[in-house]
Structure 1
Amino acid sequence: MFLLTNLAIIIVASISLSLLGVNSILADNGVDLNLTSLLIFCAVFGFIGSFVSLLLSKFMAKMTTKTKIIQQPANEQERWLVTTVAELAKKADIGMPEVGIFPAQQSNAFATGWNRNKALVAVSAGLLARFDRDEARAVLAHEIGHVANGDMITLSLVQGVVNTFVMFFARLIGFFVDRVVLKNQRGLGLGYWITTIVAEIFLGILASTIVMWFSRRREFYADAAGASLAGRGAMIKALQRLQQESAAQVENQMPDTMTAFGISSGWKKRPSRLFMTHPPLEERIEALRFGQ
């Protein structure tokens, strides 16, 4: 969701600025690109796209997963959930997050939000139904670990840098096609605009592999934080339960756009490792066992 929202913002901003003629300011007399101005321009809008995505993340997470926020616990299960999140948040020295349940049969959970003291932690109904309390607590600790580690902010910074260079190189490619390939010598022509948009989409997808690598690395740190807060044995047990359910192919009812935020990616068939948001569960379990 974060990546798709970010890419959409960048593309819409690029089209809008092109229509307004802002890009032409970056060219000296319509002949040569001013690389310094171009880099500053790309950095400003690259980071704007990233941080707007971050600010929208909690709202969009609630909407896409249909998460019900627990305002007042209605039963013993909800009381346990809120109490456990409060205990783990205090232990991790962060503010109390909003706590919610989303209606998915697959066992999963996620954390998101722009502020580590005003985050959202949500679990699926399926996880609460099938995991024992120690396993569920470990999953919550993993998500609290993401919040305490500031993963959402760090992801935004990484994405902002990636956006900057995607926009920068897309415009260099557009300029090259317009000037060298299409032989246009009058300002920035149609070839520049079309090539730039196409290059942004292609480079954005390619650059997402960097963000996916970062996401996979953060999962190991969140697992370690979960082990610290809830116990190494409980964290390993929770991951093993997820592994069992993955093997049994329990239906994934969490939107694909939200899987990067979850305890598990929800993939029945693994994509290319370059585009995986989570490391394989066996690697995560091994890292906890051997303290890597």
Structure 2
Amino acid sequence: MGKRILMFLVTNVAVMVTILVVWTAITTLTPLDLSFSTEQGINFLAIGIFSILVGFTGAFISLAMSRWVAKKMMKVKILNPDESLSAIERDIVEKVHRLSRAAGLTHMPEVGIYHSPEVNAFATGPTKKRSLVAVSAGLINEMDNDAVEGVIAHEVAHIANGDMVTMTLLQGVINTFVVFISRIIATVASRAVPDQYRFIVHFATLIIFDILLSILGSLVVNAYSRHREFHADRGGADLAGRDKMAHALRSLKVHIERASMKNDRSDDSAVQTMKISSKKRGSLFSTHPDIDDRISRLEQM
């Protein structure tokens, strides 16, 4: 889930910045009175409505683009079951479709492979009917059949649980607070300076607090992601069997430890999906729980 969270957040920020830049251009270059501040005070209602519109628009546009963005960013090769595929590719498609049917999905996800040495996989998409499961070449090459099935089951569980939609709603709420609070602070700050400096102070304050509050908001998204990882592990265990899911996690742990012993930095550049997103245990910026905690919870099921 970590990789799709990064892609979602990047798209979300890009959409929000575009909306806010266009809004700033309109209010600056046209005679339209779109100000949130009057002589009587700050128009909290107008700022609130604007914040909700911008916040949820950014989140839902990001969700709608998530599958397309994933394909482009990761250069995913889509595996069409009606076309000629290698034995390995057909096996991956079969696993995804079999586990998807077991999860109760009526529309099969798109299946893809992206060429990367990282041991990774991710699932994304705006709805259960328009989803994508992609695995890396490194995962196929490094993991045995049972471990690969456990990883795929975990990703299918994310789709079945509707994690992307839930995260979108959460991100929309966070965006709303970011836009609302930053505009209140910017309006107050701009009133404290002479008229000729108001626009500069207002704009600079907006940028600074949009960034700071977005970082704080990402902590909430990351905390949600860590919580959902445990649920996806449990869902993967239900679909593929607890032994295969636990085996997948243990295999990933062995891979991480082996790469660390070799001082292999190539793995650090990847946004880790099934793996630990941070080397630091319990990091607030991690999208995934510590892998030992995940194995422990799975064994206690």
Q: TM-score, normalised by structure 2?
A: 0.88
User: SS state of the match for residue 114, structure 1?
Assistant: strand
Conserved? CA contact 1:29–1:187, under 8 Å: no
1:176 corresponds to 2:182 = no
- The corresponding residue for 1:115 is 127
Quote the Cα distance in structure 2 between the aligned partners of 1:132 and 1:35.
57
**Residues 239 and 272 of structure 1: is their aligned pair in 2 closer, same or farther, counting only changes over 3 Å?**
closer
- The corresponding residue for 1:214 is 224
- The corresponding residue for 1:18 is 24
Amino acid at match of 2:22: S
Q: Deviations over 1:7-40 (max 9, x none)?
A: 2221222122011018952425355221111111
1:241 corresponds to 2:251 = yes
1:87 corresponds to 2:98 = yes
Alpha-carbon RMSD across the aligned residues, in angstroms, is 2.2
**Residues 179 and 31 of structure 1: is their aligned pair in 2 closer, same or farther, counting only changes over 3 Å?**
farther
Quote the Cα distance in structure 2 between the aligned partners of 1:253 and 1:74.
28
Q: 1:37 aligns with which of 46, 63, 72?
A: 46
Amino acid at match of 1:118: R
- The corresponding residue for 2:114 is 102
Q: Percent identity?
A: 37
Quote the Cα distance in structure 2 between the aligned partners of 1:43 and 1:187.
28
- TM superposition shift of 1:116: 0.8
Conserved? CA contact 2:37–2:187, under 8 Å: no
Quote the Cα distance in structure 2 between the aligned partners of 1:114 and 1:270.
31
Give 1:220-235 correspondences, 5 Å limit: 220-235=230-245
More deviation, 125-134/29-38: 29-38
**Residues 91 and 252 of structure 1: is their aligned pair in 2 closer, same or farther, counting only changes over 3 Å?**
farther
- The corresponding residue for 1:65 is 74
- TM superposition shift of 1:252: 4.5
- The corresponding residue for 1:77 is 88
- The corresponding residue for 2:12 is 6
Aligned length: 285
Amino acid at match of 2:20: S
**Residues 211 and 48 of structure 1: is their aligned pair in 2 closer, same or farther, counting only changes over 3 Å?**
same
Amino acid at match of 1:202: L
Q: TM-score, normalised by structure 1?
A: 0.91
Amino acid at match of 2:21: I
More deviation, 160-169/195-204: 195-204
Quote the Cα distance in structure 1 between the aligned partners of 2:48 and 2:282.
32
User: SS state of the match for residue 119, structure 1?
Assistant: strand
Quote the Cα distance in structure 2 between the aligned partners of 1:210 and 1:162.
8
- The corresponding residue for 1:127 is 139
Quote the Cα distance in structure 2 between the aligned partners of 1:270 and 1:172.
36
Conserved? CA contact 2:282–2:289, under 8 Å: no
User: SS state of the match for residue 200, structure 1?
Assistant: helix
- The corresponding residue for 1:286 is 296
Conserved? CA contact 1:104–1:124, under 8 Å: yes
**Residues 24 and 225 of structure 1: is their aligned pair in 2 closer, same or farther, counting only changes over 3 Å?**
farther
1:205 corresponds to 2:215 = yes
- The corresponding residue for 2:166 is 154
Q: Deviations over 1:257-292 (max 9, x none)?
A: xx37x222565x34871110111111111110112x
